[in-house]
Structure 1
């Protein structure tokens, strides 16, 4: 036992949390969730009543859920690793702003696109197609907004932060995003980081 345990599912938002843990260099255990039924077990629901991954059980005691929240907590726990710029700096404010923008806009749109039936009380093929169409439009718009903020090659310039890894993860779910030059270059540079590329492969991204 390492004191840190990541509950994860292949292809999910837990990729960015694993990447962060690898970037920090802390040892951690991985518990893979292979099917949705495992999220509904009493053991898992005791960790996260929302029945979602990722979940990170920390050595210091807290159980953390929601990928962006976990990243912010890890940055507070390990400030020396610089997942994000230092507190009180304009660079940090910008990185956190875009991290929350992606978590609050692009990530939910991706879920609507891939799981439209979850977002309608009484499903029909036509209704689900409309949800997917609007979700794709929303992602196109929000990725375009994000791309205008990318200084190159990363969001804040020459130094990668965990916000870049988060953006690369979301772009892997939406091909039109990867066609934007700013985002294509950012993803390419993000994957040059061994910690990120290891988590990327473990989660089956880029397939």
Structure 2
């Protein structure tokens, strides 16, 4: 049995969504970052974490990769060229989209006020739009890699939702349609309804 630790108003949403898509049993301990429950699962106090029996896994993408490999869903087999392409997309999204959003969030409300640089949001919005356009060009079908949904699709859709809340530039029509289709999925709707 899996236990997901973290509120859905965080990167834990990615993990909750994937588990809902997989129809795998799990429990959910909704808690904020740096809460007692978060520190009990991760010495940094960051969320999400996932308890697998007596073991803990931290980082949303590490958890998603573990789940995909463990259940042979939403991933290509390790050691294949397709998996290398999937991993490259995952890392591209983490570097070019998630990283830009996280840097902006840190300078908006996370860092102590005296260490924030509010103007950073201007170049970050430009970089986000440029990087998102590159993903749109590379998209190979209804999903990033073609006809099958993989981990990078959930990751990108989550980041695009985060960007919308942060008032970042809108995606082009192709990625706007992609985001709408991903958010319309029943598993996604169940995950966003959680605490």
Matched residue, 2:79: 88
Which of 123, 141, 158 is 2:147 aligned to? 158
TM-align CA RMSD:
2.3
Aligned residue runs from structure 1 range 32-181, under 5 A: 32-34=30-32, 36=33, 39-41=34-36, 44-59=38-53, 61-79=54-72, 82-116=73-107, 118=110, 122-123=114-115, 128-175=117-164, 176=168, 178-181=170-173
Task: Tell me the SS of whatever aligns to 1:159.
Answer: coil
Residues in 2 aligned to 1:168 and 1:44: alpha-carbon distance in whole angstroms: 25
Residues in 1 aligned to 2:79 and 2:171: alpha-carbon distance in whole angstroms: 34
Regions of 4+ moved over 6 Å: none
Which of 4, 7, 19 is 2:5 aligned to? 7
Which sections of structure 2, spanning at least 5 residues, go unmatched?
A: none
Structure 1 length normalisation: TM-score? 0.81
Residues in 2 aligned to 1:178 and 1:158: alpha-carbon distance in whole angstroms: 24
Matched-pair contact (CA < 8 Å) for 2:38–2:47 = no
Cα offset, 1:110, TM superposition: 1.0
Matched-pair contact (CA < 8 Å) for 1:172–1:178 = no
